[in-house]
């Protein structure tokens, strides 16, 4: 049983007309092109890059993370992830998918004594002061996550948190409320961990932030709320194996990357809408948005030529955004391709009672379930788009559990590095964010960074 | 003092190069074009369309909503908005902006005895069953919001909620736990309200869903969490007055609409990123996404010609998405224009302690505040985009309060109808969502709707 299936029928010319992809090409030239990309990715893997491929098999890491989570879990009422971007989006996606949005409001018994889980991401003074005032700091663990140990927001939050802890405990107790996830050797967090005996987990060197959800970055927060890590990683491993195939129809990540890349480069569909049906998958969309956008949006290709390319990922939520974005998807420019995500089966389908038989606007709903309504809306939306000549595909998982989630993470990560190959860019770097960081350092007076002139006159603009 | 200022310096050719707009045109042809649109909008207003313009002045409605909120507020522990799209996004934006994300976790004392506020939007069985199990239904009010009374998700939720209430109370007590917000005359909710004595607020006929935040749709949920409605509407009224000017530089909504429309139609910037800096403004971005996308994404112009036009709004969050989308904004295709939203002053700036003077990655932060860091990041990001030849503008509010929020809602709504004029489309309709609704009805067996053929073969595709 495949952990995630890809139904691409509504992406084909036979169904969607000129806006689609000719199925003959998928077993012909597009398959050949994918074969080249697949070989290139395999080679970079073998050279030690793309460390995320190996994460499902790091059994020692999984055991270590589980031990840390087990030993902390019984002591703390709350765990706060202090991290931003790739250091928080993956853990958010796991916690929301598996624990839902009411987790933190539940009693300790209802949580089976697993801690509450919060995120301090932004350098937002309101969020920070409210959260620190809200928590019982003596019963809170702060998991500070930054691979480099230089992320401005996270380092600032760390300083604020450390000071807040000092307000309620002795200096030698601090280290019991801190857990770092950072580079195994370098950076200020590692140095502090070594100096002060603060426990620290390692982000493997060949794993970048947005590909780190299956490393301790995502695993520790997942484990503290009771996620079965073996299942999560098992699902990822299954998907990794499936994607060893260099044959296009059999490699789901290859199919996804090829369809979206083709729709963009040949048909102008530069906006890739990711639309899971189900509230618990909203955060997964934000995780995907970073992964796809930051990996593929590049000024230069791998030969150094200026290309300014990359699709724009748009995280949507079904059926909610049928009441928000569907009008644009149906009638706006032909510049979008939609990826739906369908959950086959829910824990409780929730029957809709037949309580107002005389009211036509209510009567037709009675006897169905909310699950069936949601699923019907997904089908109806795909069909409506098809009739408007707009391609879509459906990723489907059997049920929303740790195994399926692990498989989804791996599918989308692998699709991203394949898409990098198809676009001809390096999916692992992010050179475009450096300038903003340097300007921030300069404005804050960091040593070695000159104060920039923001008058807009002294310096011209550059083509970026 | 203007409630919202628009700083468009980084949108001008003088700063951003060819990617910007020539300032001379803003007082010339673009101003003339805006003048025409302004006159057209004024005319539609006078003919009774665009009812949202009048909402700030509906004093009787405000008093009625406040009375309902006051009388309910003391009895209920929780209020659940049952609504989707335009029936929930505005209230979400208000509650998140003014009450933050921890509101529902607070004790009744910390909430000054205002109720918790939840939203049942999606036809999601997990969300629904969890929320209904979580709440004490005997102390919960359900505000069911649907202008038409035919929204499938909301009607299904209503049936499920009603049944759940029946499980814990007598039939004659039900109406005390329901409050409808719907059309003043038509639809099933109005009929049930009349038949059973269920209290019901009216959505004014000339106010569409996505323009309804300042009607009882948004006002009632805002009031139950203690929002000062007079301030909210006062800010909106101030902005409405400012936008009576037909002179482009003086009309902030006109300036916003003109710059974004010009960037799209003349320079291919079809993706309009809306990026407030501050966690409490995330939901405002989702509200704007519906407003801008659904109003402007249209197949036909007002003369009935097929145009398939409309910008794609992308809701982002600063500084979080500097670690997610900024790479793409900096280096990807020149197809985006960014609108930042800046909050001038926060309740508590949160000092960053100087606790690790020997560590360069930490030392430069000490002595600043989180507020200054967040604000510096906004400036640095705008400057980095400028140097890459990418235009942005900054909306600025003095502080994040009800008055500023009311002004922002009105600014963005008015900008939307101006943009409708510039794009030549009707910003008030949404014909593209009908097909999906009909297919859903057909698949669920609603009387009068044939079961559709989803095989993809019987019917061809149409250009939509």
Catalytic residue among A58, A238, A294, A371: A294
The DSSP letter of residue B352 is P
ipTM score over 0.95, yes or no? yes
DSSP secondary structure, B73-137, as one string:
HTT-SEEEEE--GGGTHHHHHHHHHHH-TTGGGS-TTTTTTPPEEEEE-S--HHHHHHHHHHS-G
Q: Left, alpha or beta for B424 (phi > 0: left; psi -120 to 50: alpha)?
A: left
What is the phi/psi pair of residue B82, to 5°?
-105, 100
Reading the block at residue B238, the tokens are 């101030």
Contact A435 B388 (CB under 8 A): yes
Which one of A117, A123, A133 would you mutate to disrupt binding with B, by most B Cβ within 10 Å of its Cβ? A123
The beta-carbon neighbor of A297 closest among B149, B327, B389 is B327
Q: Quick check: is A298 catalytic? A: no
Question: Which pLDDT tens digit goes with each residue over B381-418?
Answer: 999 999 999 999 999 999 999 999 999 999 999 999 99
Q: What is the pLDDT of residues B233-280, one digit of tens each?
A: 999 999 999 999 999 989 999 999 999 999 999 999 999 999 999 999
Residues of chain A positioned with their CB less than 8 A from the CB of B129: 347-348, 350
Give this prediction's pTM: 0.97
Segments in A77-151 forming alpha helices (H): 89-99, 125-134
CA gap A398, A341 in Å, rounded: 11
Residue B72 confidence (pLDDT)? 77
B437 is known as an active-site residue? yes
Nearest to B318 by CA among A31, A152, A446, A179: A152
d(CA A188, CA A190): 5
Chain B nearest-CA distance from A411, in A, is: 19
pLDDT greater than 70 at residue B287: yes
Over residues B149-167, the mean pLDDT reads 97
Tokens for A179?
A: 């857990």
Residue-level pLDDT at A291: 98
A259 and A31 Cβ atoms separated by less than 8 Å: no
Complete domains list, chain B, with CATH: 4-45+232-423 (3.40.50.10490), 52-230 (3.40.50.10490)
B126 and A374: CB-CB below 8 Å? no
Q: Which residues of A24-37 are buried (b: 16+ CB within 10 A; e: fewer)?
A: ebbeeebbebbeeb
Is residue B109 predicted with pLDDT exceeding 60?
yes
CA distance, residue A44 to nearest chain B CA (Å): 23
Q: Which residue in chain A is spatially nearest to B389 when comparing CA positions?
A: A461
Q: How far is A235 from chain B (nearest CA, A)?
A: 22
The overall average pLDDT reported for chain B is 96
**pLDDT of A215-272, one tens digit each?**
999 999 999 999 999 999 999 999 999 999 999 989 999 999 999 999 999 999 999 9
Q: What is the pLDDT of residue A464?
A: 34
Burial (Cβ within 10 Å: 0-12, 13-18, ≥19) of residue B24: exposed
Q: What is the mean pLDDT of residues B311-332?
A: 98
Measured in whole angstroms, the distance separating CA A79 from the mean position of its chain's CA atoms is: 20
> How far is residue B101 from each of residues A320, A322, B97, B224, B420, measured CA to CA in Å?
20, 25, 9, 16, 33
Q: B415: closest CA among B168, B248, B217?
A: B248
Under 8 Å between Cβ of B144 and B187 = no
CA angle, residues B402, B406, B412, in degrees to nearest 5: 140
Q: Which residue of B has its CA nearest to A330?
A: B432
Whole-number pLDDT of residue B231: 98
Question: Which residues are A393's β-sheet partners?
Answer: A339
- What's the pLDDT at B127? 97
Identify the residue among B104, B126, B161, B341 best suited for mutation to test binding to A, counting A beta carbons within 10 A and taking the highest.
Answer: B126
List the single residue in A126, A162, A461 with the smallest CB-CB distance to B278.
Answer: A126
Collapsing DSSP to helix, strand or coil, A137 comes out as helix
Partnered with residue B79 across adjacent β-strands are B117, B141
Instruction: Indicate the helix (H) or strand (E) that contains B227.
Output: none
What distance in Å separates residue B269's CA from the closest CA in chain A?
12
Q: What is the pLDDT of residues B137-151, one digit of tens each?
A: 999 999 999 999 999
How many CB atoms neighbour CB A305 within 10 A? 9
Q: Are A297 and A419 in contact (CB under 8 A)?
A: no
For every residue of B367-393, DSSP letters joined together read TSBHHHHHHHHHHHHHHHHHHTT--EE
- Alpha-carbon gap: A100 to the closest alpha carbon of chain B (Å): 8
* For B455, nearest residue in chain A (alpha carbons): A15
Token duo for residue B274: 């809306």
Q: Cβ contact (<8 Å) for A128 and B350? A: yes
- What string of pLDDT tens digits covers the 464 residues of chain A? 689 999 999 999 999 999 999 999 999 999 999 999 999 999 999 999 999 999 999 999 999 999 999 987 678 999 999 999 999 999 999 999 999 999 999 999 999 999 999 999 999 999 999 999 999 999 999 999 999 999 999 999 999 999 999 999 999 999 999 999 999 999 999 999 999 999 999 999 899 999 999 999 999 999 999 999 999 999 999 999 999 999 998 999 999 999 999 999 999 999 999 999 999 999 999 999 999 999 999 999 999 999 999 999 999 999 999 999 999 999 999 999 999 999 999 988 999 999 999 999 999 999 999 999 999 999 999 999 999 999 999 999 999 999 999 999 999 999 999 999 999 999 999 999 999 999 999 999 999 999 999 987 544 444 33
**Which residues are paired to B118 by β-bridges?**
B80
What per-residue confidence (pLDDT) applies to A70? 93
B328/A contact by beta carbon, under 8 A: yes
What residue in B sits closest to A389 (Cα-Cα)? B461
Instruction: Write out the two tokens for A178.
Output: 């801190």
Q: Which residues 338-377 of B have a C-beta within 8 angstroms of A?
A: 346-350, 352-353, 355-356, 359-366, 368-374, 376-377
Any catalytic annotation for residue A46? no
Instruction: Give the HSE-up count for residue B332: Cα atoms under 13 Å, Cβ half-sphere.
Output: 24
Q: How far is CA A50 from the centre of its chain?
A: 17
Which residue has 């301030």 as its token pair? B231
Task: Count how many Cα atoms sit within 13 Å of the Cα of residue B421 in the half-sphere of its side chain.
Answer: 24
Q: In this predicted model, what pLDDT tens digit does every residue of B424-443 receive, in sequence order?
A: 999 999 999 999 999 999 99
From B153, B294, B298, B371, the catalytic residue: B294
Comparing CA positions, the residue from B462, B341, B289, B282 lying closest to residue A271 is B289
Please provide residue B178's backbone torsions phi and psi, each rounded to the nearest 5 degrees.
-125, 140
For A431, residues 6+ apart whose C-beta sits below 8 A from its C-beta are: A298, A299, B327, B331
Q: Which of A12, A378, A436 to mutate to test the interface with B (most CBs of B within 10 A)?
A: A436
Per CB-CB distance under 8 Å, the chain A contacts of B278 are: 122, 124, 126
Residue corresponding to tokens 């936008």: B243
């Amino acid at each position: 049983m495949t952990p995630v299936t890809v139904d691409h029928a509504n992406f084909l010319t036979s169904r969607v007309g000129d806006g689609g992809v000719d199925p003959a090409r998928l077993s012909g030239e597009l398959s050949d092109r994918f074969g080249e990309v697949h070989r290139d990715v395999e080679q970079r893997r073998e050279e030690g890059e793309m460390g995320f491929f190996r994460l499902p098999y790091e059994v020692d890491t999984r055991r270590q993370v589980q031990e840390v989570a087990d030993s902390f879990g019984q002591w703390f009422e709350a765990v706060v992830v202090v991290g931003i971007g790739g250091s928080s989006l993956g853990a958010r996606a796991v916690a929301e998918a598996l624990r839902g949005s009411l987790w933190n409001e539940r009693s300790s018994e209802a949580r089976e004594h697993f801690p509450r889980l919060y995120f301090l991401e932004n350098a937002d003074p309101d969020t920070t002061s409210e959260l620190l005032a809200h928590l019982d700091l003596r019963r809170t663990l702060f998991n500070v996550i930054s691979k480099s140990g230089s992320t401005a927001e996270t380092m600032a939050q760390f300083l604020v948190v450390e000071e807040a802890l000092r307000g309620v405990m002795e200096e030698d107790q601090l280290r019991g409320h801190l857990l770092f996830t950072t580079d195994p050797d370098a950076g200020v967090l590692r140095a502090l961990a070594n100096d002060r005996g603060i426990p620290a987990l390692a982000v493997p060197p060949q794993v970048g932030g947005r590909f780190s959800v299956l490393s301790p970055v995502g695993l520790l927060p997942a484990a503290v709320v009771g996620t079965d890590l073996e299942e999560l990683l098992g699902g990822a491993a299954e998907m990794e194996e499936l994607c060893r195939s260099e044959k296009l129809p059999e490699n789901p990540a290859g199919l996804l990357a090829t369809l979206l890349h083709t729709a963009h480069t040949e048909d102008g569909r530069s906006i890739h809408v990711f639309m899971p049906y189900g509230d618990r998958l909203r955060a997964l969309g934000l995780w995907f948005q970073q992964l796809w956008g930051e990996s593929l949006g590049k000024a230069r290709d791998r030969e150094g030529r200026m290309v300014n390319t990359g699709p724009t990922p748009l995280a949507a939520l079904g059926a909610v955004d049928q009441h928000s974005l569907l009008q644009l998807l149906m009638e706006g420019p032909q510049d979008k391709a939609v990826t739906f995500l369908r959950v086959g089966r829910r824990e409780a389908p929730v029957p809709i009672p037949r309580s107002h038989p005389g009211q036509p606007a209510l009567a037709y709903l009675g006897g169905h379930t909310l699950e069936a309504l949601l699923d019907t809306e997904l089908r109806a939306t795909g069909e409506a788009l098809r009739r408007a000549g707009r391609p879509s595909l459906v990723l489907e998982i059997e049920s929303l559990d740790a195994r399926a989630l692990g498989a989804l993470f791996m599918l989308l990560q692998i699709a991203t590095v394949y898409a990098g190959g198809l676009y001809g860019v390096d999916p692992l770097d992010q050179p475009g964010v450096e300038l903003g960081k340097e300007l921030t350092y300069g404005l804050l007076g960091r040593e070695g960074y000159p104060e920039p002139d923001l008058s807009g006159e002294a310096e011209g603009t550059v083509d970026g």
